[in-house]
Structure formats: structure tokens, C-alpha cells
Amino acid sequence: MLKSAMTVPDYETLMLPVLRLFSEGARNVADCLPRLREEFALSDEESAELLPSGRVTVLQSRAHWARTYLSKAGLLESPRRNQHVITLKGREVLASDPPRIDNIFLDGFEGFREWRVRASADPAVTDPEAVNVGGKLALPPNPTVLTGQTPEDAMATAHAVMNAALRDDLLPLLQALSPVRFERLILDLLAAMGYGGGELGNGRMTRASGDGGIDGVIDEDALGLDAVYIQAKRFDAAYKVGRPDLQRFVGSLTGEGATKGVFVTTSDFSREAVSYVERVQHRIRLINGQKLAALMIQYGVGVRLRGTYLIHSIDEDYFGDT
């Protein structure tokens, strides 16, 4: 007997079906969509319903977020772009035959809780290690639209979650770049931030060999009155850039007679490295992976605008007394 048609389920309702589909061989979200449409008896009209941006269907978007959240809990992993596989942990969850998987369920996994911390923080201005309070993670509310939120609060929450997921998606792409391409990206970003007067021509990469520990140089302003020296390193997320790495960078700056530098990595910095940089006479800024991804989003480097929502309010002047 066929099920009656229903509206597109919310993304939490889709979590368990999506996980099952990946256990049955689905390679990506696109593979899941026909089966989800069948399981929930969605009509052609419901399956084709678009988000306000007009580019993605509601079903595709919600299935994508279900996959994203499952990945943050470690139930799925992505060996390459647009390919996802179920993990041993994911199979163990299915073997336990849960009636439902939702955010409360996923909150039982450390990886998901840690991601909630990152989703609530702004790495462009916040030290990622600062979320550790008394040896315990200071957890924010679930990164979902919460009952009782104002529409503005709900939009801010959703925006933070989307950016957190985008940052995590950017990092594997950055790690897969060649060293030269990664160094070029850093110069592109600094130019977008206004260094060199925003002109790409005011930044230059050093030669691949014999660079003396300097990967690039960019003028601090349009007039080229001072230069900022760059070290750009693609490291695995588990690697912490330590004090010796920074000491070598400082030595390179000294050899160039430079006073300002930026050290960029796709991983993170140890506390000893951060403390060391704060004590040297050189002015050095550290950019870790999360902060790098956040700056790329903020300045539109390697990302594109997918949609814009306009918020209107009453024009009091228009209705005022004349």
C-alpha cells in the first residue's frame, strides 16, 4: 500500500535514512535523493520545491545538512570531494537500531560537540583554543534554529552554522593544493584584504627553491612603503606549528631585514608558538586553518555568493507627518 504524499521532512528526520543509504552503497547526496523521495512518498512538486535562492531544492538542501551533521559526529567520512562513506562508528550506530537520529542523539559524540563549539565561535577574531574552560569544552546551544528565537536570532544562528560547515569543507581543499598554488592563494587573500592597495601585482612569490624560509612578499599599502613577508604551510590538521617553526621564520625575517610577517597554516599553532611570537620584536600575525577559511569567506576568496536575503523594516520617514 502506497504512502500518502507528505511535505519534505526536516533534516533531522532525514539523518537516519541518509545514514542507511550510505551503508547500502550511496556515494553522495545525489545518490540518496531518489531513494528519499520514494521512502517519503514525495510528489514531483514537493521534490522540485526550491529554496528562496532558486538554485537548490529543499530536499537536496536538507539531505545535504543531514549528511553534514552525520559527518561531524564521525558517522560518515569524505575520502574525496563529493564522495562520502559510512564509518565503523556509523555502522555500529545502525547496528544498535536507533528509532531516530537527531541533534540530541549526535550530541553524544565528542566530534559533534567540538564542532558545535567551532560553529559558535568566530575564528577570524577568536583563538580556537580559548573555548577550553577549566579543561572542559564550553558548549553553546545546538547549532539549529531554536524555539523561542527571534527571526533575527534564528538567521544569525543559521548563518554561523553554514559558515562553520563551509570552513570545514574548505580546509581539505586547501590541503590538497600544490605548495605554489597555496602560496598564490594566500597572496590573493591578502590583496583582497587591502594589502598592496588591493592590487595583486603588489604581491610576489619567492622562488620555490632557496627562498630562505620566505614564501611570498606583499606591500603593506599601495605605495609600497613597507613589506609584509609570508610563510604559508599546508600541514595536516593533527600537526601543531611549534616554537621551532616560528623561530626559523623570525630568523628568515631578520636575514631579510624585515620587521613584519604573516605565518599561515592549514593546521594550528601550539601555545608555546603563540607565546613566543608575542615576545619577539618582529610584528608577526598567525593565521591557523579555521581563521584562514573564515577570512576566505569574509573576503570572498575561493567562495561565491549563493543567495541573499533582504530584511526590510518600516520607513518611518515615509509615514511621518509632512
Report if residue 121 sits inside a domain: yes
Cα separation, 216 vs 281, whole angstroms:
21
> What local confidence, expressed as pLDDT, does residue 145 receive?
45
Q: How many other C-beta atoms are found inside a 10 Å radius of the C-beta of residue 158?
A: 14
What would the mean pLDDT of 7-24 be, rounded to a whole number?
94
* pLDDT, mean of residues 286-297: 94
Judge whether 145 and 206 are in contact, CB under 8 Å: no
Phi then psi for 5, rounded to 5 degrees? Answer: -60, 150
* Number of domains the chain is built from: 2
Please answer whether residues 233 and 248 qualify as being in contact, where contact means their C-beta atoms are separated by less than 8 angstroms: no
Average pLDDT for residues 225-238, to the nearest whole number? 88
Total residues belonging to the chain: 322
Domain coverage including residue 279: 179-287
Where among 120, 150, 174 does a domain terminate? 174
Instruction: Identify which of 196, 19, 198 has the alpha carbon closest to the alpha carbon of residue 100.
Output: 19
Check whether 225 has a pLDDT greater than 50.
yes
Would you place residue 150 in the very low, low, confident or very high pLDDT band (cuts 50, 70, 90)? low
Q: Can you give the pLDDT at residue 82?
A: 84
Task: Assess whether pLDDT exceeds 50 at residue 157.
Answer: yes
Say if residues 66 and 103 touch (Cβ distance below 8 Å): no
Residues 157 and 233 in one domain: no
The last residue of one of the domains, among 131, 155, 174, is 174
Same domain, residue pair 98 and 27? yes
Query: Is residue 47 located within the same domain as residue 81?
Result: yes
Specify the pLDDT at position 177.
92
163 shares its domain with 248: no
User: Minimum mean pLDDT among 14-18, 84-88, 144-148, 178-182: which range?
Assistant: 144-148
Q: What is the pLDDT of residue 122?
A: 59
Above pLDDT 90, what percent of the chain? 53
Beta strands in the chain (DSSP E): 76-80, 83-86, 132-133, 136-137, 203-205, 216-219, 227-233, 240-241, 260-265, 268-269, 283-287
Please report whether residue 314 resides in a domain: no
Same-domain check for residues 124 and 188: no
Verify that 164 and 199 share a domain, yes or no.
no
Q: Give the mean pLDDT of 137-148.
A: 44
All three cell numbers of 73, joined, read 559526529
Which pLDDT score is estimated for 129? Answer: 34
**Mean pLDDT over residues 175-201, rounded?**
85
State how far the Cα of 46 lies from the Cα of 263, in Å rounded to an integer: 49
Instruction: Tell me which of 158, 174, 190 is where a domain ends.
Output: 174
Q: Do 110 and 71 contact (CB within 8 A), yes or no?
A: no
**Number of helices (H) and strands (E), helices first, in the chain?**
13, 11
Q: What is the mean pLDDT of residues 283-292?
A: 94
In this structure, are 218 and 195 located in the same domain?
yes
Asked if residue 95 is part of any domain, the answer here is yes
What are the residues whose beta carbons fall under 8 Å from the beta carbon of 183, sequence distance 6 or more?
205, 215, 216, 230, 232
Is the pLDDT at 148 greater than 70? The verdict is no
How many Å apart are CA 20 and CA 119, to the nearest integer? 26
Which pLDDT does position 133 carry in this prediction? 31
Query: Do 25 and 114 fall within a single domain?
Result: yes
Q: What is the per-residue pLDDT for 216?
A: 87
Q: Are residues 165 and 189 in the same domain?
A: no
